[in-house]
A and B are shown apart, each in its own frame.
Chain A
């Protein structure tokens, strides 16, 4: 369900979720009553089936003073903080106002729905949301759109009918294939490899793994074999133990791909303190700050990720373009995104950020996230 490289730590304590939900409900109730629950008269109501309706005027001026809210999956999550700050930077540059709200748990869907409702009542011009669940936010988001609020999803999409645009960090295909290309180079296109994923049910990871398997069918990889996929559940200890298990079960293992930021840093920390350091290659999706120590001590030679700051920036530009009437979210329309260049909307209202960035010893110090 999530497109993040890490499926967020689930609230393992059921009571925790209840209490958070209660606290949030209370908080939201206060906010809602404070603004009287007025609903903006809908001027350009979006249809239920296709979110993208109405005529776009690509030459319309970018409005200023627009109120744009970022609603990440989880506040205080380093990844989203970087993404949202990227959005803030873009909005400040354009002369819009930015705010960030959200739940402190990445799995508090009820809380996220309440935030959407509150933002609708506060008559935001646009919301950039990273959905905790593809379906659960739909009713609230459709209501927001029919009240004239433009909805952009970033990082994690909802069903396409529930938003105008989805700003995607990178195509699943590019991510899956490039990780295989990275490990293949590191092990000289020969030997056994394994994958250390997040949860067995993590759709994003499974999609990427599907492309990895497809990439491995190419003749260039005929001497490489994917022996197994292990699941570390995005928990440090479990990922440690799954890595240990992989190395014990397959003593001839040459490389590990971990397409999750939690998995890769746990695997790297384990490898760096074990006899396997430098003998078993590791790559996957990670953040430069998490991985810096392991790149410097030689445990990891290269890994990749998109730049979350640019993702947030692009989401902000897309939201502004929508709210200014320059685009409506239909396929083929394009908009300008400052330094990032010009972007064209693809099928299903998806805007692709671009290819992932590869980090290694030579460039890692240029990044701080």
Chain B
């Protein structure tokens, strides 16, 4: 009900930048909160351990997050439409092997990356068609494709594996090199993120993803081509999972038939922690990226301050619940704000003299 406001409602809101700004702020609380937690956590760790934010340290933080950021960006696009793609872990695994298989045979690295992306798009197409045309719940469809893709992977790959020795040095180098403290993978993830954010914010079809996520019925009546938009979201998600697979290969240098198993849960956690509501229509890709950065940073912070990694899972769980709580509180707050605004608009119509005081309220 309130979720539509994450997107189009802001633009359609009546003039009055002060009020729209306030609404905007409330909606940004989640991103701000994650950003604040992240900064505090990193600063505290740096105080405790001076080498945490060294050049190598920053580079590692960014590298650790890059691949998750890419997949989470794709997942956010799908979740915004009130769907989900659980097959991303399997797709990442099979595309990583596909890229490795090409490189192993002496293939061109660019071709390998393109093949991984292409294979990702193919699986995205399968998911998208099943969800949009089949009208089957996304959770079930993508759970099915999760197993199918993993099964195909197991049959195709068998007990083979790609090791660092099979890869050209330049390809592995791309996985860990960069400009000073900024790794190439981080730059690539940032570029994808910016493009996705611009698409969601400024393109009609991007806005329509929010519209159909907040109310599919209303969106349909408003003339949004629902099937095509959902298909687009899945295609993009598949493409990004494929790209992430190729980069996983570069970063870890080792792929077998089990690569990426269980990754979908990490991705979904990042997206939810980043404030993309599972009820659809709300959230942003940069929120999801922040969520990914936060989750991977926790895994770096704990060992750096000497805390056992056993705590990591519990902390991730607490963060998820915190994110959902903030989500719910924000939704309630927005609802109240809207009611107040509606009342204010009414009274404004009746008593125009109050305009000035409202602006400052």
| A interface residue numbers (CB < 8 A to B) | 9, 11-13, 15-16, 19, 75-78, 80-81, 104, 200, 228, 230-233, 236-238, 240-242, 244-246, 248-249, 251, 265-266, 268-269, 272-276, 289-290, 292-294, 296
Contact = CB atoms under 8 A, between A and B. Distances in A.
Interface of B: 49, 51-52, 54, 56-57, 60, 64, 143, 146-147, 154, 157-161, 163-165, 167, 172-173, 175-177, 252-254, 256-258, 261-262, 264-265, 296, 299-300, 302-306, 308-310, 312
A231 B303 CA distance: 10
A76 B176 contact: no
B150 to A, nearest CB: 8
B157 A269 contact: no
B300 A244 contact: yes
B262 A13 contact: yes
Given A16-B147, A76-B159, A231-B310, A245 B303 contact: yes
Contacts of B303: 230, 241-242, 244-246, 248-249
The secondary-structure label for the interface of chain A is: helix
A15 B143 contact: yes
B259 to A, nearest CB: 8
**Pairs of residues from A and B, 3 with the lowest C-beta to C-beta distance, nearest first:** A245-B303, A273-B176, A12-B262
B51 A78 contact: no
A296 B256 CA distance: 22
Contacts, number: 127
Nearest to B298: A241
Given A237-B64, A238-B299, A265 B254 contact: yes
Given A12-B262, A245-B302, A293-B163, A273 B173 contact: yes
B163 to A, nearest CB: 5
Contacts of B310: 200, 231
Contacts of B305: 249
Contacts of B163: 265, 289-290, 292-293
Contacts of A269: 164, 172, 252-254
A310 to B, nearest CB: 18
Contact of B258 (A9, A81, A200, A237): A9
Contacts of A246: 303
Contacts of B264: 13
Contacts of B257: 76
Contact of A293 (B54, B165, B173, B306): B165
B254 A78 contact: no
Contacts of A272: 164, 172
Given A16-B147, A249-B304, A293 B164 contact: yes
A295 B54 CA distance: 27
B299 A241 contact: yes
Contacts of A268: 164
